[in-house]
Structure 1
Amino acid sequence: MGLFEAAGTRVIDSPAGTAKVDRAPEREAKEGRRPTERRLRQLALAVDAGAAVLPVGLLCALTRQPQPLLIAVLAGAAWLAVGASKNRYSRKEPAGDDAALPVLRDWLTMLGVLAVVCVVARLEVSLQVCVVALLPCLALGVARRRLVHRYLLAIRRRAQALRRVLIVGEAGAVDTVLAELAHRTDHEYVVVGSCLVGEETTDTAVPVPARLAADGNAAEAARDGETVLGCAAEVDADVVFVAPGRQLSAARVRRLAWALHDGGRNLAILPGLLDVSQHRVRLAKAAGLTVMHIDPARRRGMPVLLKQITDRLGALLLLLLLSPVFALVAAAIRLSSNGPVFYWQIRIGQDLMPFRMWKFRTMVVTADRMRAALEAANEHDGAMFKMRRDPRVTPVGRLLRRFSLDELPQLFNVLAGHMSLVGPRPPLPEEVERYDGTELRRLSVKPGLTGLWQVSGRSDLSWDETVALDLSYVDNWSYARDIGVLVRTVRAVVDGRGAY
């Protein structure tokens, strides 16, 4: 099959699979993308301004503060100014579960700016009134960013608001980038072509309008910019991704950047990092070089202490609140099948330390002895054992698993310090025996009662997807991300998908 079908359909083959994309929606999206982004930006400005001006003006008037209208206008201006200075109205604004902490920092900065302005202007206004009045501003700021993020994800999945990408690099690097982009849908990029360096060939069936000479050919390398600009125009690319390599030196990338920017094209450099959150990245300069510092994962300090306090207090509070549920579940298990109410297994925790993990019993008493006979029916790849219709599960156990009620006794493990409220899935010893060095990285933190694996599909995930999610959590942990996972867990439990 050709690169472009006669009916206007583009076929991309990649190591991650084959995707057929209708080009007509992309053309329509390209024409309507900028107005959509402009409307979203205008709406964001209006929401943020209203969230600051209206509550401040109303509360200042009700409490008889001097010049309530002026104070409200200053609050709105300060909020918008702080947001604009932090690029909160651009593509790079915080979104999704990572939105809360940056918005809180902006809000605190805005309070400081407003306090300075009031002192300089000699406005006698109550600080307590302003803080209370600006709380809706904080809440709406987080909600607005999350709603915009979900909206953008939805229209991207419908092949709208996509950015067309031309990849420049060696064949292996191009294959890797295309595979990673094809593997996920939570981004805005669609690859429409590649410009290969050297004479190597690529297995991906994206258009290759032209090639760049090997790095040793200085005369031809000088024409890189002209060649790439021509490729970008031919495939109608919005942005050029450059993957530096042995044949694409820093000096050559620099000249290419000059040509692309002079030609009105956007440029992005791919450093070859996977799953590194933005909060861990710092840029610096050294002798003209751009140095990218990657901060280590947080393992100590105030955020970790706050996580430990949240784990213990949260587990204790949930045990008290859910005690009636514990009683009902225990009664249902005892009345429906023979055997104990609770079931425990040896699981492997942080730093390969084994511990006894508690659950409500959902299987028949002889379930462990039946495991070997069912190995051939395992529906999960990798080290885990899962069956959708496991004959060992009791009728009541199936209901408990559907709503994750069987996991509630693990709150005792959290209270004892063996587990955390949020973390990777705790594995069995026989699973750990099959781990490689990468998979063992999951055990560098405490396992969790819930985690990214639960809010992202649970047993429906492949082993590679489960490991990728756990590694992303281990490397990019933050307290705000934990809170986001806990909130999403409620929705995942109610939905029940992947629970069996």
Structure 2
Amino acid sequence: MTVDTGREDSPVADHGGTTATRRSPIGAVTAARQRHILYVATTDFVLLISAIVASEYLWLGTSADTIEPQFGLGYTKFGVLLALVWWGALRLAGSRGFNVLGTSDEYQRVVSATVTTFGVLAIVSLLAELNLSRGYLAIAFPLGLAAVLFSRRAWRRFRERQFLRGHHVKRVLVVGQPAAAKEIAQWFSRNRHAGLDVTGTWRPQGPEGRRLLRIGDRLIPSVGGSTALAPALDASEADMVVVSSTDELGHHGLRDLTWDLEAAGIDLMLSPNLLPVSGSRIAMRTVAGMPFVHVKKPQYAEAGNWPKLALDIVGAFVILMVAWPLMVVTAVAIKATSRGPVFYRQERIGRDGEPFAMIKFRSMHRNADARLRDLLAAQGADGAPLFKVENDPRITRVGRVIRRYSIDELPQLFNVLRGDMSLVGPRPQRESEVALYDHGDWRRLRVRPGMTGLWQVSGRSNLPWEEAIQLDMHYVENWSLVGDLQILVRTLRAVLAKDGAV
């Protein structure tokens, strides 16, 4: 069986002793990704050189002294050498690795390589007694790091846009049951920025032959039989194989599959079926020579520790200092345009199920709560969670403006300072919504609710109830301080874009 992909042929054993021809790994998708790596590497080098030269002229001017007279090495030549070493460190740290670009690990490796480079430079300067200007290095370090991180972010966005347009997407063959293939395909479909698309399945323990499997609005080939690897690769034209269950192959079958795909230059990944678990909680461990996937415990306790509390207090205080003029103007506008109090308090359920009074700017006319049930009933959504009345007549003119830009949420900063809420966390819900929780959903109450959270920046009011709960659960179980900072940045972008606002 031959797979015609426009690449040179290479052999692939079909687990039955037969050798099939398979396309070479140098194809359109792989070549495009290698070009992307080259572009990133070139950008890194140009930015590092620019940062070093800029640092020299910012600190030393146009008449820089030599580092050491006996060496006769000036700052300009040293700067070029430092940029080369720095650029090489980024390469050695794997920050431009094929499977690292576009992941959260990319930024961490860039920072690690930069810190290591300047740490080694400091030690060498001390031991060799080099006359290096500290101010020069103090400018070069943050300037170069910020430039590289910014460019990596820009390249990542460019790459994601290419994937969303269907360019250079890797085709994936899923090994396992059709149900697992559908789940993985749906996950890739919801996360198209990853650049992966399921184009076929192989069922080693399934019935011999080929049939079509419906996934969404598509039909993909599903090939069965223990010796059908080559036909499955041929039908799916896969660049990557994902094994959803090792039981389908067994230990020896998985080993043989690894060898076969290595000869063909096809990537292989094993799915641990841990979709709700963050990568930071997953690690590989070897016990008695056998590899295992170690899953760390959920981060409930970590989400209530002092770093998060410090972020909440400092962050809320800073935001209040910046936003108080806007809050004063809002209060005056509310009082001047409609009857009623400036603030609106509503009971919500907080940490460990304890109720608290959540504060907001009033955006509706008085007695709005009394009219809610009739409006929901008129729209056929009485008792539905997360439902918001369309074209709500209770909202005031000022209310529509402050809701559009989430200004009505600013008084919740006082809830944060009181300890009722956090800047980031699961959205506080009403008692009637909490009553709809199943047994597992109660875990979202293990942490303080937040002014913003993962589901707000993933769609805000546009998400269905089930998906919103899943996102909150993912946040609670996989909490990290870096994750909180990322959500805060994404919240600012979502507010400015009015994405999902009412």
Q: Specify the alignment match of 2:309 in structure 1.
A: 308
Structure 2 equivalent of residue 116 of structure 1: 123
Matches of 1:128 and 1:111 in 2, distance apart?
13
Cα distance, 1:293–1:442 mapped onto 2, change above 3 Å = same
| Match of residue 416 from structure 1 | 418
Aligned pairs for 1:74-113 within 5 A: 74-93=81-100, 95=102, 101-113=108-120
User: Which has the larger displacement, 350-359 or 111-120?
Assistant: 111-120
For residue 187 of structure 2, the aligned residue among 180, 186, 190 is 180
TM-score (norm 2): 0.83
Answering whether residue 359 of structure 2 is matched by residue 384 of structure 1, we say no
Alpha-carbon offset, residue 343 of structure 1:
0.6
**2-structure distance, mates of 1:443, 1:156:** 37
Q: Find the aligned partners of 1:369 and 1:388 in 2 and give their Cα distance.
A: 17
Q: How far is 1:282 from its partner?
A: 1.9
**Displacement of 1:441 after TM fit?**
2.5
Assess, with a 3 A threshold, how the Cα gap between structure 1 residues 111 and 133 changes in structure 2: closer, same or farther. Answer: same
Give the equivalent residue in structure 1 for 2:431. 429
1:11-160 to 2 correspondences below 5 Å: 30=29, 33-34=32-33, 36-50=35-49, 52-58=51-57, 61-62=60-61, 64=65, 66=67, 67-93=74-100, 95=102, 101-119=108-126, 122-160=129-167
| Displacement after TM superposition at 1:340 (Å) | 0.9
3-state DSSP of counterpart to 2:248 = coil
Aligned in 2, Cα 1:96/1:180: closer, same or farther, shift over 3 Å? closer
Q: Which residue of 2 aligns with 1:366?
A: 367
- State the SS of the aligned residue for 1:106: helix
2:223 aligned with 1:210, yes or no?
A: yes
Unpaired runs of 5+ residues, structure 1, are: 1-27, 214-222
- What stretches of structure 2 of length at least 5 have no aligned partner? 1-26, 68-73
Quick one: distance in 2 between partners of 1:382 and 1:64?
73
Counterparts in 2 of 1:313-328, with a 5 A limit? 313-328=314-329
Q: CA deviation at 1:203?
A: 4.8
Contact 2:60 2:136 (C-alpha < 8 Å) held by counterparts: no
> Residue in 2 aligned with 1:490?
492
- DSSP-derived class of the 1:274 partner: coil
Instruction: Give yes or no for contact 1:381–1:463 (8 Å, CA) kept in 2.
Output: no
Give, in whole Å, the separation in 1 of the partners of 2:77 and 2:303: 39
In the alignment of these two chains, the number of paired residues is 461
Name the SS of the counterpart of 1:431 in structure 2.
helix
Which residue number corresponds to residue 253 of structure 1? 254
The answer as to whether partners of 1:56 and 1:134 remain within 8 angstroms in 2 is no
Structure 1, 59-68 or 425-434: larger mean CA deviation: 59-68
Q: Displacement of 1:146 after TM fit? A: 1.2
Q: Is the 8 A contact 1:97 1:480 kept in 2?
A: no
Q: Percent identity, aligned pairs only?
A: 34
Cα separation, 2, equivalents of 1:487 and 1:318: 13
* SS of corresponding position for 1:134: helix
* TM superposition score normalised by structure 1: 0.84
Partner of 1:329, secondary structure, is helix
Within 5 Å, give how 1:320-339 maps onto structure 2.
320-339=321-340
User: 1:469–1:91: structure 2 CA closer, same or farther, 3 Å change rule?
Assistant: farther
Aligned to 1:218: none
Give 2:492's aligned amino acid: V
Q: 1:360 to 1:101 in 2, by over 3 A?
A: farther
Shift of the alpha carbon at 1:189?
0.5
Shift of 1:51: 5.0
Does residue 289 in structure 1 map to residue 302 in structure 2? no
Which has the higher mean CA deviation after the structures are superposed, 118-127 or 434-443? 118-127
- When the two chains are superposed, the root-mean-square deviation of aligned CA atoms in Å is 2.8
CA contact (8 A) 2:171 2:197 kept: yes
SS of corresponding position for 2:347: strand
Residue 378 of structure 1 deviates from its aligned partner by 6.0
